[in-house]
């Protein structure tokens, strides 16, 4: 399928596919910070925080391509085409995504378009939501006594029409991290219990992790749907399912009330780097 109709000429610039991390501006990598500072144009997703966008040079073009404030997100094909178009006219094009661009971020699809268009690119990984959330919620994803492995899955697929093979995720010695699962909590709960995962398995749902607005609810798999409806949870939110969640009470260290860095404070901190 032909996605764009630009003439085959040498692209002027390069696209940097950059992971912005889960929220806390200080979880941005030094490389991501350096590249943002020299950006000519930034195409960013809704999950990228205002504090991180404040690091982008004032004269850089900033294009929001994700859902924000009730607006519809740009279609993936439009984003792909925009990236190519910008690379033909600007030097440093940054595609900035929440978390890591290769984890439920469609980074691969965007790079395939760039390859087809002959546009140079580099990828800067970011801290994915699973890592940020588990760290800030005091839930180690693996632990020699409780979990020998961890699996990241999306809960966002059309679960009814394309059933998930829940038996792959029912192992009690494995931690399951579910991105985008809140709206399907009931299906996830039933699927895992029917596949043999104990209803008493500890679960945590953490929203706006690593930020001053982080909130967590903890319970059991048998209560997952009820927990997902908790009013204190906002989007984005992540589910962690497994025995390791039992460690959250003793390993909890993060106090969101003390994490409220203003943009000015954040800039002062990052300028010292
Ligand atoms: C489209 S996926 C993008 C994931 C991203 N590429 C990453 O590596 O984290 C969006 C989902 O990530 C999870 N997520 C991202 N940031 C989060 C945060 N700060 N707190 C909790 N969940 C988060 C949520 O499940 C959200 O629905």
68-111 tens-digit pLDDT: 534 556 788 899 999 999 999 989 999 999 999 999 999 999 99
- Residue whose tokens read 């192992």: 171
CATH 1.10.540.10 fits 14-127, yes or no: no
Would the CB of 227 count as within 6 Å of ligand 1? no
Instruction: Among 177, 179, 212, 213, say which to mutate for ligand 1: greatest number of ligand atoms within 8 Å of CB.
Output: 179
Instruction: Among 18, 24, 28, 47, say which to mutate for ligand 1: greatest number of ligand atoms within 8 Å of CB.
Output: 47
- According to CATH, where is 3.30.950.10 located in the chain? 130-249
Instruction: Among 98, 124, 178, 205, say which to mutate for ligand 1: greatest number of ligand atoms within 8 Å of CB.
Output: 98
For residue 245, how far is its CA from the centre of ligand 1 (angstroms)? 19
Structure tokens at 66: 């994700």
Would the CB of 22 count as within 6 Å of ligand 1? yes
Which CATH number applies to 130-249: 3.90.226.10, 1.10.1660.10, 3.30.950.10, 3.40.50.10860? 3.30.950.10
- Residue whose tokens read 């908790």: 230
Q: Is the dihedral of CA 57, 60, 65, 68 positive or negative?
A: positive
Band of pLDDT at residue 266, cut at 50, 70 and 90: low
- According to CATH, where is 3.40.1010.10 located in the chain? 14-127
Q: What is the mean pLDDT of residues 220-224?
A: 98
For residue 128, how far is its CA from the centre of ligand 1 (angstroms)? 7
Asked whether the predicted pLDDT for residue 170 surpasses 50, the reply is yes
* Inter-residue contact 73 to 67 (CB < 8 Å): yes
For residue 129, how far is its CA from the centre of ligand 1 (angstroms)? 5
Active site residues: 45, 67
Q: Give the residue from 272, 206, 264 showing the smallest Cα distance to 50.
A: 264
131-140 tens-digit pLDDT: 999 999 999 9
Asked whether the predicted pLDDT for residue 211 surpasses 50, the reply is yes
* The pLDDT of residue 75: 87
Band of pLDDT at residue 262, cut at 50, 70 and 90: low
Q: Which residues have a Cβ under 8 Å from the Cβ of 89 and sit 6 or more positions away? A: 12, 13
34-59 tens-digit pLDDT: 999 999 999 999 999 999 999 999 99
- Mean residue pLDDT across the chain: 90
For residue 103, how far is its CA from the centre of ligand 1 (angstroms)? 9
* The pLDDT of residue 70: 45
For residue 104, how far is its CA from the centre of ligand 1 (angstroms)? 8
* The pLDDT of residue 69: 38
235-253 tens-digit pLDDT: 999 999 999 999 999 999 9
Would the CB of 98 count as within 6 Å of ligand 1? yes
Q: Give the residue from 164, 186, 168 showing the smallest Cα distance to 176.
A: 168
Q: Give the residue from 32, 15, 10, 2 showing the smallest Cα distance to 124.
A: 32
Query: Rounded to two decimals, what is the model's pTM?
Result: 0.91
Q: Look at 3-7, 195-199, 231-235 and tell me which has the smallest mean pLDDT.
A: 3-7
């Amino acid at each position: 399928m032909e996605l764009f109709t630009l003439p085959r000429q040498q692209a002027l610039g390069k696209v940097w596919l950059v992971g912005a991390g889960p929220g806390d501006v200080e979880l941005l990598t030094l490389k991501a910070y350096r590249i943002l500072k020299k950006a000519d144009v930034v195409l960013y997703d809704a999950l990228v925080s205002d504090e991180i966008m404040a690091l982008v040079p004032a004269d850089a073009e900033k294009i929001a391509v994700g859902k924000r404030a009730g607006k519809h997100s740009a279609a993936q094909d439009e984003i792909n085409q925009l990236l190519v178009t910008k690379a033909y006219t600007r030097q440093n094009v940054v595609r900035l995504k929440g978390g890591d661009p290769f984890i439920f971020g469609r980074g691969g699809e965007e790079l395939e378009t760039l390859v087809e268009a002959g546009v140079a690119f580099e990828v800067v990984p970011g801290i994915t939501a699973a890592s940020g959330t588990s760290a800030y919620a005091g839930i180690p994803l693996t632990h020699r006594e409780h979990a020998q492995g961890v699996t990241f899955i999306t809960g966002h697929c059309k679960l009814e029409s394309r059933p998930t093979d829940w038996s792959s995720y029912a192992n009690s010695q494995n931690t399951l991290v579910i991105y985008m699962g809140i709206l399907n909590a009931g299906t996830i709960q039933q699927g895992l219990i029917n596949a043999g995962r104990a209803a008493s398995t500890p679960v945590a749902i953490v929203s706006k992790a690593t930020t001053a607005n982080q909130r967590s609810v903890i319970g059991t798999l048998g209560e997952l749907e009820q927990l997902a409806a908790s009013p204190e949870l906002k989007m984005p939110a992540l589910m962690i399912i497994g025995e390791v969640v039992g460690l959250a009470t003793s390993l909890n260290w993060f106090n969101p009330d003390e994490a409220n860095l203003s943009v000015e404070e954040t800039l002062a901190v990052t300028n010292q780097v």
